[in-house]
Chain A
Amino acid sequence: MSAPTTVRPDRTGPPAPAPSSRAKWRRARAWATRAPLLPALVFLIAVTQLPFVATLVISLFDWNALYPDERRFTGLSNYTSVATDPQLRDSVGTTAVLTASTVLVSLLLGLGLALLLDRAFIGRGLVRTMLIAPFLLVPVAAALLWKHALYNPEYGLFNGGLSWTADLVGIDRPPQPDWISSMPLIAVEAALVWQWTPFMMLILLAGLQSRPLEMVEAARLDGAGTWQIFRYLTLPHLRRYLELGVLLGSIYIVQNFDAVFTITSGGLGTANLPYTIYQTFYQAHEYGQASAAGVLVVIGSIVLATFALRVVSSLFRQEVSRA
């Protein structure tokens, strides 16, 4: 995949020397400039791009590792079976729902928190640190925490809290729902929202703090109310940061494996594409089908990534022109 070329440099390479006579020297110099870049570039292409090519090739084969002798070329039939396999098709839907709802809810919560933290109050630094903490737990540990210490129907904190409040107000039999089996997808989403809201908050807070203050002051002097300032000044300024949060959040959450694996083991209709691919390849040993599903995920991601790159590049151009 190649990147858009929207940004023009303002500090490009060496100054152009005199024409033709020094062509050879210039070429040597250009290679000397390029040299520091090459190790990283070559390494990255070898380790991250070549496997995708291999995946593309494997996806055209009927290949189950348990029957290695029956491997043969089948063209696009893996794609047809991926498209018709209800399990895989469901996981496409699950991935979309899981990603969209997690991103939107954490974006809205993150916006609220960023607005709250954009004001001065006692202990702001401490509150900020407390809010970031969920994001800094190892994802597997966070998922285990939600599954066992919070959701557990017998002694999890949620049901414990319910019976505790029930005791206080004098209700005899407090409801003790089994959170994970009664709302599996929401259970996974809640844990993910908890971890990703701080991420959204950090991005939006950075956006709020880059807002030109004079403009807000001027608007306030002109008699604009808080809501008007938010609606007509803050929100338009935040648009790019909101887009960036949505896109980066989507890219990270589409790939989520840890929470689904840990909280529900992909059961109860929560298997997303990464989990399903993992299962197809690691447990069912269907190499061809897993690869076809992988290729589909890549195509979906390229669509997302194209938008993401556009947003990043417009922010980037802003930074470059400001510098």
Chain B
Amino acid sequence: MTVHTVAPHRAARAARRRGLALGLLAWLAGLAFFLPVAWMVLTSLHSESDAATNPPSLGAGLTLDAYREFFDSAAGTGPWPALINSFTASTFSTLFVLLLALPAAYALSIRRVRKWTDVLFFFLSTKMLPAVAGLLPIYLIAKNSGMLDNIWLLVILYTSMNLPIAVWMMQSFLADIPVSIIEAAQIDGARLPSILARVVAPVAGPGLAATALICFIFSWNEMLFARVLTGVTAQTAPVFLTSFITSQGLFLAKVCAASVVISLPVLAAGFAAQDKLVQGLSLGAVK
């Protein structure tokens, strides 16, 4: 009798202890991965002399000097033009992506064209070819048509870069909408634009928002094209970040402050889209 009650009790306690240990391990792993990010933020809040010590001065006083200097920037124009360029490129390319991808996804999910899966996989296959291989012709075309150092060139390229991802994601969100709702609206005489606005958008809204955020992140992060195709006037934030370093020499706090500022929009967008992030990154293959 006693044996029977004690044994499960002990097993449960062992299981709980193991659960606690594994939870602790997860916490340690989380903290280890987060440490460099925390270090970056902390360093950005130190003065330059406190940032460059060995061993590190953890308890040094906090200051916003690095941020102030970054924005006042001795590097000529300061970061604002680059940040505005990045916002322009990311926002407009995301907008164009949505305008092109929404009807396409409609034709691939709600009222399907024949061989819709082939079309879908064609979109995906374009994403798998390395962009660097098309860089030279694009550079030559841009050079000959006077589009070099023009932010709208990046808008066009980023639109094409993100279009396959958006088509895939939206296709999977729209396919979740029950056909009967749409058919009912069609019987009521609603036309495509009003079906999109009144029926599709409310149901697929959150998914579309996540798609937009992911496209925004990818455009904001892009550097290879931006570096080759822009110069002084159209340079984006990542390009500014690298040139800022070379022109400033090594100022650790300022480097960290600049990295924090330029990563903030992506961090915000990423955490907002957290639940749909996997789906977007795996091109809709994982839900």
Contacts and interface: CB of A to CB of B under 8 A. Distances in A.
B130 A298 contact: yes
Interface stretch (B4-12, B73-81, B160-168): B160-168
Given A4-B121, A167-B55, A157 B267 contact: no
A136 B15 CA distance: 35
Given A5-B118, A43-B100, A262-B242, A137 B22 contact: no
A239 interface: no
A281 B135 contact: yes
B116 A257 contact: no
Interface in A189-224: 194, 197-199, 202-203, 205-207, 210
B136 A294 contact: yes
Contacts of A206: 278, 282, 286-287
B112 interface: yes
A34 B137 contact: no
A47 B252 contact: no
A55 B118 CA distance: 26
Interface in A98-126: 112-113, 116-117, 119, 121-124, 126
B215 to A, nearest CB: 13
Interface string B96-115: 00001101101110011111
A33 B26 contact: no
A150 B32 CA distance: 13
B60 interface: no
B33 A130 contact: yes
B146 interface: no
Contacts of B179: 11
Interface string A71-82: 000000000000
A319 B287 contact: yes
Contacts, number: 342
Q: Which of B36, B122, B262, B277: most chain A CB closer than 10 A?
A: B36
Interface stretch (B64-72, B202-210, B217-225): B217-225
B30 A309 contact: no
Q: Which of B124, B141, B164: most chain A CB closer than 10 A?
A: B124
The bracket for how many chain A residues form the interface is 35 or more
A139 B134 contact: no
A39 B286 contact: no
B26 A117 contact: yes
Contacts of B30: 126-128, 130-131
Ranked 10 nearest A-B pairs via Cβ: A3-B121, A121-B23, A36-B103, A51-B134, A54-B137, A294-B133, A305-B128, A141-B259, A136-B270, A127-B30
Interface of A: 1-9, 11-14, 30, 33-37, 39-41, 43-44, 47-52, 54-55, 58, 112-113, 116-117, 119, 121-124, 126-142, 144-146, 148-150, 152, 154-155, 157, 159-161, 163-164, 167, 194, 197-199, 202-203, 205-207, 210, 241, 244, 248, 251, 254-255, 257-258, 261-262, 273-274, 277-278, 281-282, 287, 290-291, 294-295, 297-298, 301-302, 304-305, 308-309, 311-313, 315-316, 319, 323
19 contacts: A3-B124, A5-B115, A6-B117, A13-B111, A33-B113, A37-B119, A137-B259, A141-B258, A155-B52, A155-B252, A160-B56, A161-B55, A281-B135, A281-B139, A294-B130, A294-B133, A302-B129, A312-B121, A316-B117
Given A47-B157, A163-B55, A312-B283, 11 more contacts: A3-B124, A47-B159, A54-B140, A119-B26, A136-B266, A137-B259, A137-B267, A139-B221, A145-B255, A157-B36, A319-B172
